[in-house]
Every structure is written in C-alpha cells, then in structure tokens.
Structure 1
Amino acid sequence: MVRAERKYVDLMRQSTVGLFANWDPENPIEVGSYGRFDLDTTRFTVLGNIYDPEFQVLLDAVDGNFTMSDHPPELDPVEQDMIITSSGVRKHLFSPGADAKKENFNKASFKMNFKFLSGKRSAVLVIHKPRLYHVPRNTVLDVLYRIPEFNGLCIVPSVYKCRGWSIYLSSKLEETVAVALLPSKVGFDLEWWSNSDSDFLRQGTDKNGFASPLFAAQQKLPLIRRYMRGMPIPDPEPDKFWIDGYPGWEPLDEDGNDDPIWEEDYEPDVARVWRRTMCKSSMTRW
C-alpha cells in the first residue's frame, strides 16, 4: 500500500527550507497555530492558536503587558506562482499531447509539463498567486519563547494562502504530466486541467484565496546554556532562538513507510537518541 500523503509531505519537506506541505489545502492551517506533527500520518495536529482568547492566560504569565490582539497577522502582496519540485522531476514547456480534449490553452493562467524519472517517487506542488500570511516580524516570537508550554511543540508563524494549487506524486514509472489552470466554463472562477487521472493528483481553486498548501513550522531551540553557574538563562533576541521544526518521523521508503535500512545502517546513534527523546517529550506534554 502506498502512503501517498506521508511520502508527499516528506518529499516537500526535503525540497524546502523550514516549510511543510499540506496534503489537504482546503483544510487550512492557520497562522499562529501550535501543536505537533503526527508521526504516523505526517499531519500537523493543532492544539490551539496564539490568537485564541484563552491563550492570553499563558501570555499574561510571562508578560502581562503583551496582548496578541494588538499584533494581528499581516498579509504580504501577491507573489509570482510558486513551483516546488523534489528530486527526480524536470520542468518542460507545456504540451497537452495529441489525445487531449480541445481546450483554449492560450487563456491559461498557468501551464507546464513535468517529467518524472523512473525508479523513485517524486512530487510537485504548484501554488497560483500565493500570498504570505504571517505574524508580525521581530515582535511576537521573542515574547512567545518565554512560554514554557511551547517546549516540544511547533508553532506556525507563516502560511502561504493562494487562489489555486496542484499536487502530484509520481508512480515510480517514467511519465510526463501536463497541468494547466484555465478559466472556468461555469461562472468566473478557475479550474485545473491535466492529462493525468492518477489518484495521487490533487487540485483545487479558491476564489477567496483561503487555501493553504504550504506553511512554516518552528520550534524553540532545545537548550540555551548559562554563561556561568548560577546565572539566569538570558532572554532571547527577537526570533533568534527559534529553529525550523523537526517533525520526528523516520526516513521513508518510496511508498511512504518507515525505512528500517536507514535506522540500522546510516543514522548516527546520537541523532536517533535526540530525535526519539524530543518526540517522546512532545507527546507527553499538554
């Protein structure tokens, strides 16, 4: 059995820096969410949000003068279309193929071919008209660092929202997949076209731009040492002591299952002990 979601999320994690893919962009991850990654499904399990009214109690315990409602999320301007590919994928000029149904591809908002190499699974994520939605920079994370309940958890400081998204996970066979974003035949929205009918092709549009196919996840630096015995732990500089979130699941084989070969032969003992300790501690909190 192919665990498509697990493999796709892991491939996107390897292809980006500090970003994680959402297999179901229509079920959005919101800015300010905090929680942990499920090691079995790779989904981000949300335990709460820093903008929830009840979160203010935790914030008041470390800083009674800071109110989250005074620092709402910010929305950046629309960016160019994003195309994220894992290894084993090549981008080519669009060609729908001789057997494609007649479409007006000249009006496409996006069109491209992706060639997948054989022997391994590869993934593509296309994000149409993305906008970065994020907590205010250099004002929020430094305060949140002092909250002890965040130990072992991840926080989502930013999310990419978009008008349209296309996800594809290859079949380990050599293949070429064409995708295009066309004007809808009904109404004034957009719709995706592809020459593939694979179960691992997922596409959608959102005229309101609320879909979230990609998000950042960060966690507190696990350890800050005192300079001298007896000295208090120093307050962090803005955003300095947050690092890219480490999801914690095992390296995966081509079908999305844990790969026992990696753990037995390749992973250093120190890395394995640290990973399992962090994952175990995060599962016992809250």
Structure 2
Amino acid sequence: MGGEQKYIDLLFRACRKFPSWDPEVIIEVGDWGRLTTGRPRWAFWRPKRCIFLKEGNIYQDNIAEKYGIPQPTVMGEEGSDGLTWFKSHTTRDMDVATSVERQTPTLAKCAVKAGFQFTASGGAVLVMADDHLTTIHPASSLRRLLEVDGLRGRVLVSEVHRCASYARYMAPPRTSSVVIGLTGPPPSGNPSSQENFKWVLSTNKGELDSKADNSGERKYCPLYKLVSLTEAEQGTGQRSSVDDETPLPLPDALPPWMASSS
C-alpha cells in the first residue's frame, strides 16, 4: 500500500469514517457522488487512492426538502480549547505526563498535546484542534433517498468534521510512541508570529502533515463519513423492525479496495 491508501485504510477500519488526504478541500454534509481510485484500470502499478467525486448536494439540489430530510445538526459549534483525535487499532492513548523526559523544550511548553503508543507495525493518528461535527439526524431518514433514481448506487456525506488546525501522523514500524502538541497561539495584532503557531512532535520518525491556523475559522475538513445509497445486502446483520417503524441507517460506504474484496 502507498502512504495515502495505508492512512485511509488504518483509520477507516478504526472509526468507519474517511480521513481526507487533502483537508483543505471543503466537503459538506449532503454532498453526493462516487468514490474512485484515481487511476485508470490499465495503470495497475499506480498506488490506489480514495477520491470522493462530488456530483451534487441534496440540500442545494432541493432533494432534501422534497423527501423530508432534516437540516444538518452541528455539534461542538461553540468551540473547544482541547484536542480531538482518531487513531488506528494499532495505536493506544498514552499519558503525556509520564513521557516528560521524551519531550523537547518546545513540546513541553505546548498548552495542548496528546500522546500515543504503537505496536511494532506502526500506526496512524489524526489530531484536530477546535473540532466540530456536522451530521444528519436521524441517520435513518436518509433511507428515503433510495427512492431517487439519480442517487441510486452513489455515496453520500452524512457527517463532516471541521477544525481550525489538524495534524496527520503516520508512525513507521518499530516506532514506540509519539507526543503531538500545538504551540500557543500568536499574540493578537502580530501576524508575523503566526509561523510560530504550529504542531510539534517528540520524535523525528514518521510522516507528519499539518496545518495550524489561529484565525478562529474552521477551514479544514480532515474527516467525514460516507453512506452507500444502496439497500444493505442480506447476511450483513442489518434488519429493520417488523413494522418498519425504526428503519436502520444506510450501510457505510467502503474504500474502493475494500469494496472490491467484499
């Protein structure tokens, strides 16, 4: 697997959500379209990717209003001074207070930080600052969209995480642990100090991709959930109640390499 495919694969298996390889691309709840590997079939040597190609939005296309889909609900809109993170199954949380000796002076001064330990195979972590979640509730209401011929077989964004800053970290094999921190915000009225507002690590191992912004604007979309606009197949364990009063949500969409092997 290439780095992008491995990162998406590890986090999706842990949280059933799609981590974005390019969080600066805005994704909105209600977007619908399809997933692609980003390569033609004949180019089998190219690394597989997981690209969401937007074809429309049920709110902008007036589909949601026609089929009674509720407006999205925003959770955590008031903001938070802490961090939110998602991690692979090969990763577990670590108490940063027990790893002071492994922290650099810059990291030790970070107001917010999180620590992680990895198995011998490494792992993946996504850390977000000032995160909020936009979702459609109840999720079962999206089943009404199965009546829309133009959406059949497509995927739909049902949840989106947006944040002001994020750090994506991939730990290679034999990386024991890492502490990830966000330095303090720059003084107001001094934009030049923005360059000192950044994510820092306790190790030089692994791959870090990050953005840190102190404007107060949640401009990054590093994680989102996709559901498949198809009926769940028999044998998946998904069943509605006998009287259909409590229909189940639509099945989760899968990354292309998982869908092709299922």
TM-score (norm 2): 0.72
Aligned match of 1:45 = 53
CA RMSD of aligned residues (A): 3.4
Deviations for 1:104-141, whole angstroms, at most 9, x for unmatched residues?
A: 73551x212323332x2411111223211123536952
Q: Is the 8 A contact 2:74 2:133 kept in 1?
A: yes
Q: 1:241 to 1:139 in 2, by over 3 A?
A: closer
Aligned match of 1:204 = 211
Which of 248, 255, 261 lines up with 1:247 in the alignment? 255
Aligned match of 1:172 = 173
Aligned match of 2:26 = 28
**Distance in structure 1 (CA, Å) of the matches to 2:209 and 2:95:** 21
Letter in 1 for 2:136: V
Aligned match of 1:191 = 198
Query: Structure 1: which 5+ runs fail to align?
Result: 226-235, 252-270, 276-286
Query: Structure 2: which 5+ runs fail to align?
Result: 38-47, 235-243
Q: Is the 8 A contact 2:107 2:200 kept in 1?
A: no
Q: Is the 8 A contact 2:161 2:224 kept in 1?
A: yes
Which of 107, 110, 113 lines up with 1:111 in the alignment? 113
Task: Say whether residues 1:146 and 2:108 are aligned partners.
Answer: no
Larger Rg: 1
**Distance in structure 2 (CA, Å) of the matches to 1:153 and 1:249:** 16
**Distance in structure 2 (CA, Å) of the matches to 1:13 and 1:166:** 17
Deviations for 1:79-105, whole angstroms, at most 9, x for unmatched residues?
A: 7632222133233233465683x3373
Letter in 2 for 1:132: L
Q: 1:139 to 1:240 in 2, by over 3 A?
A: closer
Tell me the SS of whatever aligns to 1:112. Answer: strand
**Farther-moved stretch of structure 1 (24-33 vs 75-84):** 75-84
Aligned length: 231
Deviations for 1:140-187, whole angstroms, at most 9, x for unmatched residues?
A: 524323112222211001101122221111111234322111213454
**Distance in structure 2 (CA, Å) of the matches to 1:42 and 1:106:** 37
**Identity among equivalent pairs (%):** 23
**Distance in structure 1 (CA, Å) of the matches to 2:152 and 2:246:** 18
Tell me the SS of whatever aligns to 1:183. Answer: coil
**Farther-moved stretch of structure 1 (43-52 vs 149-158):** 43-52
